[in-house]
């Protein structure tokens, strides 16, 4: 079996062309801009901050990484997975409860799928295609009802394992926003590859410009859009996958089959005022595909941009007029 794995990279890039242009012409317009980059939650995290120190933001994200990274044996979450029960820190409890509540309304992205993701190990060094029996055994442990929280204690029943990958970056960005508010920062862009926080007002007074990568062409963009302060998350199967027997297996899983999802969408972007919601719902929408896309586009509090396998772009009414298509092979579609 030949296996090829593409390494992780940015699904979405933040374009600050206007700011950078102003910076070249008049440095006073970006006074106070500093930047810091760390590696956390299996991604390169960059905090670009105006009017405050970015190190406090990246330190906060690294702190949360030590609690939420299920791939680090000494993290709080890994200890919970290992023992099946334990006392929760304030942040871990908040994360688990918030993600579980969202799963009850939008069940496709379920953090209790950890036994399945560990079995396939798509993002690890040695991904593999397991047997149907192995998948069936792992799948039996999945279900948000297997996670029980009482006070500050959590119990994982039926061998359930937590994989926070669908929402952890968004949650970390929620906490980064709180840190920026406490520091009274003027403006910030905090990006963690597939999830980004756009905070405050740009020094030039204009909206942020966000470019969504073309799923079919590495390094190019399918579209860009403008927006104010918000969280933006993009999910797709084109960055993390492996190939075996001529077939591609991506890192996003269908909890009804225990296998990597075969979505008719190639990219889903969610824009909203909550980081965890933008992160987790972008994954849920990608899993559910076009069949439920119209329903999601009518969901309050979020804007959705989705691209299907034919290059059709579908966008919520609240964001559609702010989109500029960059790829000539893409165009707006109708559901």
By C-alpha distance, which of 189, 227, 191, 186 is closest to 206? Answer: 227
- The pLDDT, as a whole number, for residue 15 is 36
Mean pLDDT computed over every residue of the chain:
89
Mean pLDDT calculated for residue range 284-291: 97
pLDDT-derived band of residue 224, with 50, 70 and 90 as boundaries?
Answer: very high
Residue-level pLDDT at 219 = 73
**Vertex 223 angle, CA 170 and 168, to 5°:** 10
- The percentage of residues in the chain with a pLDDT greater than 90, rounded to a whole number, is 79
The stretch 267-272 carries a mean pLDDT of: 97
What is the mean predicted confidence (pLDDT) over 20-27?
26
The pLDDT score that the predictor gives to residue 238 is 77
User: Quick one: 85 exposed, middle or buried, by C-beta within 10 A (0-12, 13-18, 19+)?
Assistant: exposed
The predicted model gives 309-318 an average pLDDT of 96
Which residues are registered as beta bridge partners of 149? Answer: 154
> 127 pLDDT exceeds 70?
yes
Domain residue limits, the chain: 1-335
pLDDT of 10 over the 50 cut: no
Query: Given pLDDT bands bounded at 50, 70 and 90, which one contains residue 124?
Result: confident
Specify whether domain 1-335 bears CATH 3.30.70.360.
no
Work out the average pLDDT over 170-194: 96
């Amino acid at each position: 079996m030949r296996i090829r794995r593409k390494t992780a990279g940015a699904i979405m890039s933040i374009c600050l062309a206007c700011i950078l242009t102003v910076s070249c012409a008049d440095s006073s317009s970006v006074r106070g801009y500093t930047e810091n980059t760390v590696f956390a939650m299996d991604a390169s995290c960059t905090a670009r901050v105006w009017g405050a120190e970015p190190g406090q933001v990246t330190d906060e994200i690294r702190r949360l990484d030590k609690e939420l990274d299920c791939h680090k044996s000494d993290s709080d979450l890994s200890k919970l997975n290992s023992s099946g029960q334990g006392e929760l820190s304030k942040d871990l409890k908040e994360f688990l409860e918030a993600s579980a509540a969202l799963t009850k309304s939008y069940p496709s992205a379920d953090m209790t799928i950890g036994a399945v993701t560990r079995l396939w190990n798509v993002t690890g060094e040695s991904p593999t295609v397991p047997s149907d029996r192995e998948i069936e055994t792992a799948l039996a442990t999945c279900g948000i009802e297997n996670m029980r929280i009482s006070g500050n204690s959590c119990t994982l029943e039926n061998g359930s394992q937590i994989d926070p990958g669908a929402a952890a970056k968004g949650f970390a960005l929620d906490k980064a926003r709180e840190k920026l508010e406490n520091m009274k920062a003027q403006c910030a862009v905090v990006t963690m590859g597939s999830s980004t926080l756009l905070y405050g007002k740009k020094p030039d007074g204009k909206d942020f410009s966000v470019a969504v990568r073309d799923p079919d062409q590495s390094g190019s963009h399918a579209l860009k859009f403008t927006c104010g302060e918000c969280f933006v998350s993009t999910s797709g199967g084109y960055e993390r996958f492996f190939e075996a027997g001529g077939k591609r297996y991506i890192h996003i899983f269908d909890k009804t089959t225990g296998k990597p999802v075969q979505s008719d969408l190639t990219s889903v972007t969610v824009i909203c005022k909550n980081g965890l919601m933008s992160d987790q719902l972008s994954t849920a929408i990608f899993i559910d595909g076009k069949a439920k896309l119209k329903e999601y586009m009518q969901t309050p509090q979020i804007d959705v941009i989705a691209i299907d396998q034919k290059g059709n772009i579908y966008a919520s009414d609240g964001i559609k007029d702010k989109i500029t298509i960059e790829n000539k092979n893409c165009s707006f579609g109708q559901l």
